[in-house]
Amino acid sequence: MSASSRVLASIPSPDRGVWEIDLGFLTIPIRAYALCIILGIVIAIAWGEKRFQARGGEKGAVTDIAVWAVPFGLVGGRLYHVATDYYRYFGEGKNPLNALKIWDGGLGIWGAIALGAVGAWIACRRKKIPLPVFADAIAPGIVTAQAVGRIGNYFNQELYGGPTTLPWGLELYQRVNEAGIPDKLNGVALDHTLIDGSPVHPTFLYELVWNLLVALLVVVVDHRLRLGHGRAFALYVAGYTLGRGFIEMLRTDDATMVLGLRINVWVSALVFIGAVVYFVLAAKRGPREVLTREPVAVIPVDEVPGTSEKPDEDPEPSPGATAAPETTEDAAEPTADKPEKATDKAE
C-alpha cells in the first residue's frame, strides 16, 4: 500500500509530540500533552465559573477552589497511574525517578478525581460552599477537559487499540531521538515508517467523542430536571465510566490485569454502580440548592448622621404633594432637648 493511499484510508499521527525552542543558553521543550492538559483545565474552570454563578454563587469562587483542586488532582492522577502501572517504573532495569516525569504522560482519571475532590473539599470548607454545588457546576467542564486531554494522547501516540482496516484507523510511526534511538514520546518520525500492526483503533479518539457526548448529556438533563445535590456530577461519572469500560477493553497497551480484565475495566464498573446509586438516592434531598450571597448590612435610618430620629413621623413631601401647615402649638412647642440630640448625631 502506497503512502498516499494510506493517508486516504487512515488517520496519520503527528511526526512528534515535543517541539524545542532553542534560546542559545537554554532549550525549552514545548509538549503537546502538557498544553492539552492546561487548555482542558482552563475550559473546565471558565465553564464552571459560569454555571456556578448561575446557581447564585460568587464570581471567582470556582477559580479559588481550583487553586486547591488542580494540584491535588494532578498528584492523585499521577499516583494512580504509577500504582496501577508500577512495572513501568520499578523493577530490574527501570528508573523509579521516571515516576516523577508527569510531562511524559500518564495520569489516571480515577486518582485525579479522588484526590482533586479532597482539594476541592478543603477549599469549599474554607469558603463555606457546599461541595455538591461546586461539583454540579464543574461536572460538564471536567469531562470536556478530559476530551481535550485525549488530544495529547494523539500527539504521544498512546492509548490505542488493535489493528483495524476501518477508514479512521490510526497510523503509528517509528520515532527516534537525536542519537537514533527509538523514542516514541520525545523522538521524531523521520520517514513515517509504520509500527507493526498499524493502522490501529484510535481508542483515545473514541473516548474523546464519548466525553463530549457525556458533557452534552449532563447539560441537557441538568437544564430539564434542575439537578442538584451532586446529581449532575454523578450523572457525569456514570456516563463517563459506562463508555470508558467498553473502550478500555479495545486497548492493547500494557495494563495491570485482574481476573482476565484490565484493572480500569473493574474500576469503571464499580464506580458506575456507585454513581447510579448516588444519583437515585440524592433525588430524595429535594430541589436544586440555591446559593444566597452574604446580605448587605442595612443601617437604620435613625442612626445615619444628619437624619431625623423618627423619619416616619416627618416624611419628606412627595413631588406634587402639598405640605400641611404647621399649627401654632407645634411652632411654639419647646425644643430645649433637640440641640443635644442633633449634637449627638453629628459626632
Give CA–CA dist 242/328, Å, rounded. 87
pLDDT for the residue 2: 44
| Partner residues linked to 27 by β-bridges | 22
> How many Cα neighbours within 13 Å face the side chain of 340?
3
pLDDT for the residue 302: 57
Q: Is 213 left (phi over 0), alpha (psi -120 to 50) or beta?
A: alpha
Q: Is 105 left (phi over 0), alpha (psi -120 to 50) or beta?
A: left
Instruction: For residue 322, count CB atoms less than 10 angstroms from its CB and return exposed for 0-12, middle for 13-18, buried for 19 or more.
Output: exposed
pLDDT for the residue 346: 40
Instruction: For residue 248, count CB atoms less than 10 angstroms from its CB and return exposed for 0-12, middle for 13-18, buried for 19 or more.
Output: buried
Residue written as cell 492509548?
A: 159
Give the number of other CB atoms < 10 A from CB of residue 162: 11
Instruction: Report the alpha-carbon angle 6-209-185, nearest 5.
Output: 60
Going by the DSSP 8-state scheme, the letter that residue 316 receives in this structure is P
Q: What is the mean pLDDT of each run of 10 residues along the chain (347 residues)?
A: 52 92 87 93 97 94 96 93 86 84 78 95 96 97 96 92 93 90 88 88 97 98 96 98 96 88 94 97 91 56 52 48 44 44 41
